[in-house]
Amino acid sequence: MLMKNFLKSVNLKGIENALKSKGRKILVYHSDVDGMCSSALLMKFFPDFKPIPREGPVIEEGFLEVLISKRPDVIVFLDIPADQEWKKLLVLKKRLGKVRIAIIDHHIIEKDMNESGMIHVNPRFESKEVYVPASAVMYEILNVLKYPVKKFLWISAVGVIADYGFEDCKELLEECEKTFPGSLSDKPSPFKLSKVAEMLSALITLRGLKGAKLGLDLLVKFETLKDIGKHRDLRDCHEKVRKEIESIMEDFGKHAEFMSGKNLIIYEIKSKLNITSIIATKITDTYKNEVIIIRKKSRQGWKISLRCQSGKTNVGDLAKKASLGIGSGGGHQKSAGALVKDWEKFRKRVLKQI
């Protein structure tokens, strides 16, 4: 019901006109499962977009110039809180002239870009506390616009599951279970959507942005849920990541730093895989009331995943404040991420704020 009410205030005609328009079109999407699934739904009906996966909302000068050099007529940011880079968006709009820019997102809103002549869609305009993944937003937009998207409801559900959007997407998930019996429940089924989410996540974990691009290509290509289960490469990636997770969780039990006075758990991953987010989420399943901070050293600095399943601590705000001046960070109330150069400074800020 929330989505239907929210969409009443959305410029749906403007979105459809932008998606259907001719010319050069770019799709900038988040390189996680929700980003892949929401983008796949869009590209099922508008395949002429050039997709570019991104790890976050930061628009570096180099990427800004890349976008400008392509001279696009339309740019869609999907599952990317591009409004956090609103100054860069204004530069983009000014230098490209008549370009249409649309943001279809569900992260915490920093600035309403509708006021700057762009299309900005986010369920949080209706309710600040709502958590509706981009896959559900994109599905509902296409559904209201009368596109035959119901046969791809399973793609939307996979994105919702991967992004832990259960609470505010109950109707969508219930509809998916009715359409594909056993895909979400304990009923017998050839394939569970939770496993599909894990397989796609494993692809990103092992191959990074290339994995995010391959995952999107596969979802656009596949017509049914059965197609996913037949893909050997996806199954192999899933098994490799599963074994790595088991090893890391065993090490977590031995070396994690438990700070009971602050309800805080800190752990450093030394795996070669890009796996901080997966481990943070898995730990949260056991420690729902604690703030979980998982860090991993990368070439760019410290990659950090933050979780607090209870929502008692807003880790989105925590990540943003703790990374100020030393990197970038942000996200949702229960789930967030950061990339910083100075871990010790980040840690001190976290301890001060909690």
Judged against a pLDDT cut of 80, whether residue 190 lies above it is answered with: no
Angle between helices 33-45 and 193-221 (to 10 degrees): 40
Strand (E) or helix (H) holding 292: strand 291-298
Cβ atoms of residues 168 and 175 within 8 Å:
no
For every residue of 206-267, DSSP letters joined together read HHHHHHHHHHHHHHHH--SHHHHHT-HHHHHHHHHHHHHHHHHHHHHHHH-EEEGGGTEEEE
Residues 245 and 231: their CA atoms lie apart, in Å, by 22
Cβ atoms of residues 54 and 103 within 8 Å:
no
Tell me the average pLDDT across 199-224.
94
**Residue 155: closest CA among 193, 201, 199, 108:** 193
Residues 197 and 234: their CA atoms lie apart, in Å, by 11
Residues 338 and 329: their CA atoms lie apart, in Å, by 4
Specify the pLDDT at position 232: 86
pLDDT tens for residues 135-153? 999 999 999 999 999 999 9
Residue 162's CB is within 10 A of a number of other CB atoms, namely 24
Are the folds of 2-185 and 256-353 the same? no
Maximal CA-CA distance, the chain: 58
Specify the pLDDT at position 95: 96
Specify the pLDDT at position 344: 97
Q: What are phi and psi of 240, to 5 degrees?
A: -60, -45
Specify the pLDDT at position 51: 98
CATH says 256-353 is which class?
Answer: alpha beta
R_g over Cα of the chain: 20
Specify the pLDDT at position 189: 56
CATH says 2-185 is which class?
Answer: alpha beta
Q: How confident is the model at residue 63 (pLDDT cuts 50, 70, 90)?
A: very high
**Residue 76: closest CA among 44, 43, 109, 107:** 43
Q: How confident is the model at residue 242 (pLDDT cuts 50, 70, 90)?
A: very high
- Percent of the chain at pLDDT above 70? 97
Domain assignments of the chain as residue spans, ordered by start? 2-185, 196-244, 256-353
pTM: 0.86
